């Protein structure tokens, strides 16, 4: 296989991973948005969803760009360390971050 063929092969693999990552993050955002509709969102439920979102972001970005996961993890740690965020605000901050990532991936 020529170097051009290998480069094309690697590019399409990367595109497949990018599409997979984007789809997984979109599904995660939809799932999180469903939680925001809950008028009685508890701290425990918000924390459970954030833990779940960490795992999904890790799995979704493993084959594409692990820096997305590491950046998300830093953001989540900063949210957890702040006692000023209500459950709704914690999930919303995660969703805002994920929507920004999806926007970058869609370009």
Number of folded domains that form the chain? 1
CB atoms within 10 A of CB 52: 14
Check whether 14 has a pLDDT greater than 80. no
> How far is the C-alpha of 43 from the C-alpha of 91, rounded, in Å?
10
Structure tokens at 57: 């972001």
- What pLDDT is recorded for position 47? 95
Residue 67 within any structural domain of the chain: yes
> How far is the C-alpha of 74 from the C-alpha of 77, rounded, in Å?
5
pTM attached to this predicted model: 0.83
**Domain of 96, in residue numbers:** 17-105
Residue 83 within any structural domain of the chain: yes
- What pLDDT is recorded for position 3? 37
Residue 63 within any structural domain of the chain: yes
Residue 28 within any structural domain of the chain: yes
Higher pLDDT, 1 or 105: 105
> How far is the C-alpha of 45 from the C-alpha of 35, rounded, in Å?
9
Residue 10 within any structural domain of the chain: no
Residue 44 within any structural domain of the chain: yes
Check whether 17 has a pLDDT greater than 50. yes
Band of residue 5 on the pLDDT scale cut at 50, 70, 90: very low
pLDDT, tens digit (0-9, with 9 covering 90-100), for 73-96: 999 999 988 888 999 999 999 999
Residue 86 within any structural domain of the chain: yes
Residue 43 within any structural domain of the chain: yes
Task: Using alpha carbons, select from 28, 41, 56 the residue that is nearest to residue 86.
Answer: 41
pLDDT, tens digit (0-9, with 9 covering 90-100), for 21-73: 999 999 999 999 999 999 899 999 999 999 999 999 999 998 888 899 999 99
Structure tokens at 87: 């459950």
């Amino acid at each position: 296989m020529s170097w051009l063929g290998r480069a094309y092969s690697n590019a399409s693999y990367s595109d497949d991973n990018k599409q997979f990552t984007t789809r997984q993050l979109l599904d995660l955002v939809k799932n999180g948005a469903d939680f925001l509709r809950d008028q009685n969102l508890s701290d425990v439920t918000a924390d459970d969803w954030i833990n779940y979102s960490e795992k999904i972001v890790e799995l979704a970005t493993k084959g594409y760009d692990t820096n997305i996961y590491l950046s998300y993890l830093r953001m989540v740690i900063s949210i957890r360390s702040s006692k000023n965020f209500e459950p709704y605000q914690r999930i919303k901050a995660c969703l805002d971050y994920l929507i920004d990532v999806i926007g970058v991936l869609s370009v």
